[in-house]
Structure 1
């Protein structure tokens, strides 16, 4: 699904979203209220320019439109791996974008992300995973690292990783595995406009990703370890 088709499905009451150099920004109507929309398209990698531009959209919304909902549309192959970006400190730009999303949440802006095509590595972490809740379309592709690359880095044979991926979502790509781990709240089908309206209404409150991962059996110790660190308690075996 291209972004124009997605926008029509998400915002049947109308939108004013524009695309420039693979970045999306604008406003739309959801349930009678105006929302800020920011995102990417065409699998574009997030470089310093897009990171700064997205951060600016979010900060402008926080300054000019208090508590306006923010919708992040995710389609990226990750952070841009170029010498120029690395020399400029791409990690700092990505962190800045993540902090801007965080401050929007802290200032009372409901932030909802939707992976509608592809979401990989750092480009996903500082956008979709920083939202109050992240959702995905059934045909979307989500992964931090492909199994061949993981095999090269970990020195674990790819055949072994493939075997592990059948039973452990941590090793496996795909939206359904991220649902099991709690990183993705749910997969949206059918009436996308109704799904988005309901998600915005539910956004806010404590981060439940680790708890969801435990409930769904995808990350059985994340919530326990987090709670032990917070309280100084012990970690009990799963």
Structure 2
């Protein structure tokens, strides 16, 4: 689905979302509330200007105090790989965006991500993975790091990583693996109205981050939940 089709399905009564230079911002009515929409379209890399613009939209919604949902629609490249962005603190700008979304969540805004294209690396982490619930449409192609990049970092042969990825979802990019690890909570049905499906996600919003639990239940991260629980227990005991 294109972004225009997604917005029409999310907001059949109309919306006020605009796209400029690959960034989507605006709002629309959803289940009796005004939903704030931010996003990245057209496989656009996320640079400092984009990260700060999206952060401002989220913080404006928090300041308004209406507690409406915040939808994060993502079809991006990775973070913008430029010397200029790195020197100007792109890592801090991406962290600021992620923290803005976490603040919105803690302030009572349901935060829902929707992957409908590609996304990777810092852009993926600072947008979609910073929401309370992350959904995807069939054909979405997320990755934290592609295998050739993993090979360069780990110094392991690409063929070895490709073989490991067949049985270890946490190593592998792609939607199926992100679902198995619990990063993606649900895959939506594009043949049905998206507004109803997003309303259902919001109605069933978990009280806390459910990724470890989902990864354990789905077999993609079988030990993460137990390890995290043990670390938390040890920290409380000290």
Instruction: Output the TM-score relative to the length of structure 2.
Output: 0.94
Looking at structure 2, the residues matched to 29 and 204 of structure 1 have their Cα atoms a distance apart, in angstroms, of 23
Alignment of 1:84-95 (within 5 A): 84-95=84-95
How large is the RMSD of aligned CA atoms in angstroms?
A: 1.3
Looking at structure 2, the residues matched to 203 and 45 of structure 1 have their Cα atoms a distance apart, in angstroms, of 29
Partner of 1:120: 120
Name segments (4+ residues, structure 1) moved above 4 Å. Answer: none
Would the aligned equivalents of 1:111 and 1:203 in 2 still touch at CA under 8 Å? no
Partner of 2:71: 71
Task: Give the secondary structure class of the aligned counterpart of 2:79.
Answer: coil
Would the aligned equivalents of 1:112 and 1:203 in 2 still touch at CA under 8 Å? no
Instruction: Output the TM-score relative to the length of structure 1.
Output: 0.94
Q: C-alpha deviations, 1:106-162, integer Å up to 9, x for none?
A: 110000000011110110101111111101111010111222222222121111111
Partner of 2:170: 170
Between the two proteins, the alignment pairs up a number of residues equal to: 233
Alignment of 1:148-163 (within 5 A): 148-163=148-163
Looking at structure 2, the residues matched to 32 and 232 of structure 1 have their Cα atoms a distance apart, in angstroms, of 44
Partner of 1:236: none
Structure 1: runs of 5+ lacking an equivalent: 234-238
Alignment of 1:1-238 (within 5 A): 1-189=1-189, 190-191=191-192, 192-232=194-234
**In the TM superposition, what is the alpha-carbon distance from 1:204 to its structure 2 partner?**
5.0
Task: Give the secondary structure class of the aligned counterpart of 1:123.
Answer: helix
Task: Give the secondary structure class of the aligned counterpart of 1:81.
Answer: coil
Looking at structure 2, the residues matched to 204 and 222 of structure 1 have their Cα atoms a distance apart, in angstroms, of 18
Deviates more, 1:195-204 or 1:38-47: 195-204
Looking at structure 1, the residues matched to 203 and 60 of structure 2 have their Cα atoms a distance apart, in angstroms, of 22
CA 1:9–1:33: 2 relative to 1, 3 Å:
same
Structure 2: runs of 5+ lacking an equivalent: none
Would the aligned equivalents of 1:176 and 1:187 in 2 still touch at CA under 8 Å? no
Looking at structure 2, the residues matched to 37 and 58 of structure 1 have their Cα atoms a distance apart, in angstroms, of 9
